[in-house]
Amino acid sequence: MTDRDSRKIVIFDTTLRDGEQSPGASMNLAEKMEAAGALVDLGVDVIEAGFPIVSQGDFDAVLEISKNVRGSTICGLARCREADIDRAWEALQHAERARIHVFLATSAIHREFKLKMDQEEIIRRAVEGVKRAAGYTADIEFSPEDASRTEADFLCRVVEAAIGAGATTVNIPDTVGYSTPTDMRRVITTLRERVPNIDKAVISVHCHNDLGLAVANSLAAVESGAGQVECTINGLGERAGNCSLEEIVMALRTRNDHYKADTGIVTKRLVPTSRLVANITGIQVQRNKAIVGRNAFAHEAGIHQDGMLKERTTYEIMRPEDVGFAKTDLVLGKHSGRAALADRAKEMGYHLEHEQLDDVFRQFKQLADKKKEIYDGDIAALIEQQIHTGGERWSLVSYHVVTGSDETPDVTLTLAHGDEQFTKTMSAGDGPIDAIFLAVEEITGYTVVCKDFNVHSVTVGKDAQGEVMVQVEYQDRLYRGRGISTDSVEASAKAFLNAINRIAASTTEAE
């Protein structure tokens, strides 16, 4: 039940910026566009779309999202440096509503070892940065990085100066996930009591989850007066991640009696958005993850089941349908048409262009010939494959492997690169998949270290499609790849090629 006097908390989603910094979670442009569309449908107020100065890929993503995504404020990150801020604006200028987020570390440890600046220099740079950003847009966020480990007096001075220079949101990051809820309460209360112009800005909080306290810390900040929470879908992010969007939103909604605060999030979109981000990044959520995990609403114990049958509120504090769990996900079959597929894809959070839909529909028909029942998982896998592989340089034409126990496999592999085809025949490897990976390396010229390989079925049944996820290392960076097929060897080949294509795209960009 939501109180009509609730404060509205601004939800600032940083899945595409801080979340993407999670190892192996980097997304290409098409994937970021897809995720941004889903975040708008979810009702996110601000989407932090990237850090434009760090790479051409980040710049392009912020630019394209600014040009095409409507309904949320689009934000770009910048250090307190002219070049960063100018580049951020260049990417953001077409947004319906644009925010520049400038940050500068303030804690003693960062000042001394990372920045080698004294307190006065930090204040001067913070003010210069905010002023430069304010020359472009009125919506400016300032973050004193590592705020939670910054001396209280100095933090108050920096925040006051940043607001004085034009910051409209001041974000308090617990950058290293060190705070406890008591610390957070103290920091926010101190700022509200001691910064004279604090009422001119929204106080925000940005908590990392190193001690598993990101959501609790964010709630403590809201309780103390914060008006914005920064978070990511599935709690994605570096190390142990960021505050999880779905958890903070449902905690505020379910315990509105206590927090007297709510968000504009369309909670029925939480599960579809969580699944979409998991599919895009390849980072699945654990089964018992609060709100969106597969078991989040599963009652196994007999005593619970008995209570639930008599009255669901005996053991249930939220309804699964309120967060977007569908009763059943058996959806389409051989006779389903293009419109039905388009509808289902939309429901699942995907925004497919006309041609993308044509492509997915073709594959859907082929799949429906092979398996009778098409589940949501199958559709997501087909769409993801379309998004992941669109515009790839190398693609699989055919493979042939002959092998047996204690035999070295004989493989013939043909790949396409533009209009050309390349075939390699060799005797190598330990099993058919290894043989194909070696042949891919020979043809493409990329030698990688395979760090992770896993196969799972996307739905149920013996005829289910297999999804292969690989993670490979190339020149000290991790790249992921994903492939699906009802043939798991073919799925492996596609996943490996997908990773090679990501390497090819990013190394060409860096050159």
Residues that bind ligand KIV (CB under 6 A): 18, 103, 143, 145, 171, 173, 175, 206, 208
Beta-carbon-side half-sphere exposure of residue 214 (alpha carbons within 13 Å): 29
132 or 206, CB closer to ligand KIV?
A: 206
Q: How far is the CB of 94 from ligand KIV (least distance, A)?
A: 23
CA gap 14, 48 in Å, rounded = 5
Q: By C-beta, is 208 or 482 nearer to ligand KIV?
A: 208
* H helical segments located in 166-301: 181-194, 214-223, 245-254, 256-259, 270-281
Three-state DSSP at 93 gives coil
Q: Which is nearer to ligand KIV, 22 or 175 (CB)?
A: 175
The least distance separating Zn ion from the CB of residue 360, rounded to whole angstroms, comes to: 35
Nearest approach in angstroms of CB 478 to ligand KIV is 20
Pick one of Zn ion, ligand KIV, none as the site partner of residue 143 (Cβ within 5 to 8 A by kind): ligand KIV
Phi, psi (rounded to 5 degrees) for 243 = -60, 130
DSSP-assigned states of every residue in 134-155? HTT-S-EEEEEETGGGS-HHHH
**Smaller CB separation from ligand KIV, 144 or 349:** 144
Q: How far is 413 from 409, CA to CA, in rounded Å?
A: 12
Query: Which of Zn ion, ligand KIV, none lies near 103, with the C-beta cut-off 5 to 8 A by kind?
Result: ligand KIV
Positions that interact with Zn ion (CB under 5 A): 18
Nearest 5°: CA angle at 350, between 345 and 352?
A: 85
- Return the number of other C-beta atoms located less than 10 Å from residue 300's C-beta: 7
Q: How many CA atoms lie within 13 A of 142 on its CB side?
A: 34
Nearest-CB residue for Zn ion: 18
Nearer to ligand KIV, 131 or 208 (CB): 208
Pick 18 or 34: Cβ nearer ligand KIV: 18
Element (H, E) at 467: strand 466-474
Q: How far is the CB of 80 from ligand KIV (least distance, A)?
A: 11
Roughly how many angstroms between the first and final C-alpha of the chain, as a whole number?
Answer: 55
Nearest to ligand KIV of 18, 247 (CB atom) = 18
Residue with Cβ nearer ligand KIV (78 or 220): 78
- Cβ of residue 186: shortest distance to ligand KIV, in angstroms? 18
What is the closest distance, in whole angstroms, from the C-beta atom of residue 145 to ligand KIV in the complex?
Answer: 4
- Looking at residue 277, its amino acid is V
- CA-CA distances (angstroms) from residue 293 to 85, 153, 296, 312? 38, 42, 5, 19
Quote the least distance from Cβ 21 to ligand KIV, whole Å. Answer: 8
The token pair at 490 is 């073919």
The answer to whether 40 touches 9, Cβ cutoff 8 Å, is: no
Q: Please, what is the minimum distance in Å from the beta carbon of residue 236 to Zn ion?
A: 11
**Token pair belonging to 431:** 């099993």
CA–CA separation, 459 vs 377, rounded Å? 6
Within a 13 Å sphere around the CA of 8, how many CA atoms are in the beta-carbon half?
Answer: 7
Annotate 143-161 with b (16+ C-beta within 10 A) or e (fewer).
bbbbbbbbeeebbbbbbbb
C-alpha span between 229 and 209 (Å, rounded): 14
Cβ 32 vs Cβ 390: under 8 Å: no
Q: Which is nearer to ligand KIV, 233 or 411 (CB)?
A: 233
CB closer to ligand KIV, 18 vs 31: 18
Q: Provide the β-strand partners of residue 20.
A: none
Residue whose CB is less far from Zn ion, 18 or 146 = 18
Beta bridge partners of 400: 412
* Radius of gyration from C-alpha coordinates of the chain: 25
The single residue listed with the structure tokens 């390497």 is: 503
Between CA 23 and CA 480 the distance in angstroms is 10
Q: How far is the CB of 135 from Zn ion (least distance, A)?
A: 26
> Which two structure tokens, joined as six digits, stand for 466?
């297999």
Q: How far is the CB of 78 from ligand KIV (least distance, A)?
A: 10
Q: What is the smallest separation between the CB atom of 174 and ligand KIV, expressed in angstroms?
A: 8
Q: How many helices (H) does the chain have, and how many strands (E)?
A: 17, 18
**Closest separation in Å from C-beta 288 to ligand KIV:** 26
User: Which of 143, 363 has the CB closer to Zn ion?
Assistant: 143
